Structures are given as structure tokens and as C-alpha cells.
Amino acid sequence: MNLAKPDSLYNYGMKILCFSNEVRQQTGVGWHRVGSEIYYFQNDFIRMVGKFKKTHYTLTFTHTFEADNDQ
């Protein structure tokens, strides 16, 4: 929550960026894209900027870590 852009690349297929020590050890790549059920949408929170009302947006996603003790 607390995002301010009215649209996001998450609405067009971009995934969440995640770092995994386990994946880095196995493949050499630590940062990689993950996640499913990724949604970016306007929520009900309004903030005042001067005399203008600005809306907030929420990003939600699902991710299951593959290794139990990964960092």
C-alpha cells in the first residue's frame, strides 16, 4: 500500500524481484523475477496535497519460497 502511480508495469506482466541465496548457489543468479496473482490497484485511502486529493494504490502478490532456510 502507499503507492502513488495510477498505473504500473505489474498490470502488464512484470513480476516481483526476489533475491535468493539458494538460487544463487545453484544457478549463479541471485536476483530473479517471481510471483503470481500480481495485482496493482487503487485503494480507498486519500491524501491531500495542497488542495488536491491524491489516491493511493496497493500492490499484492503471491510467492512461495522454494527452500526452507533461504535468505
Q: Is 36 inside a domain boundary?
A: yes
Parent domain of 28: 9-62
Phi-psi region of 12 (alpha: psi -120 to 50; beta: other; left: phi over 0): alpha
CA distances from 65 to 11, 12, 32, 43, 59 (A): 23, 23, 12, 27, 19
Our count of domains for the chain comes to 1
**Distance of alpha carbon 54 from alpha carbon 14, whole angstroms:** 25
Q: Is 71 inside a domain boundary?
A: no
Q: Is 31 inside a domain boundary?
A: yes
- Pull the grid cell for residue 55: 489516491
Q: Is 54 inside a domain boundary?
A: yes
Q: Is 3 inside a domain boundary?
A: no
What pLDDT was estimated at residue 24?
A: 94
Q: Do 67 and 61 meet the contact criterion of CB atoms below 8 Å apart? A: no
Predicted confidence pLDDT, tens digits, the chain (71 residues): 568 888 999 999 999 999 999 999 999 999 999 999 999 999 998 888 899 998 999 999 999 988 888 88
Q: Is 4 inside a domain boundary?
A: no
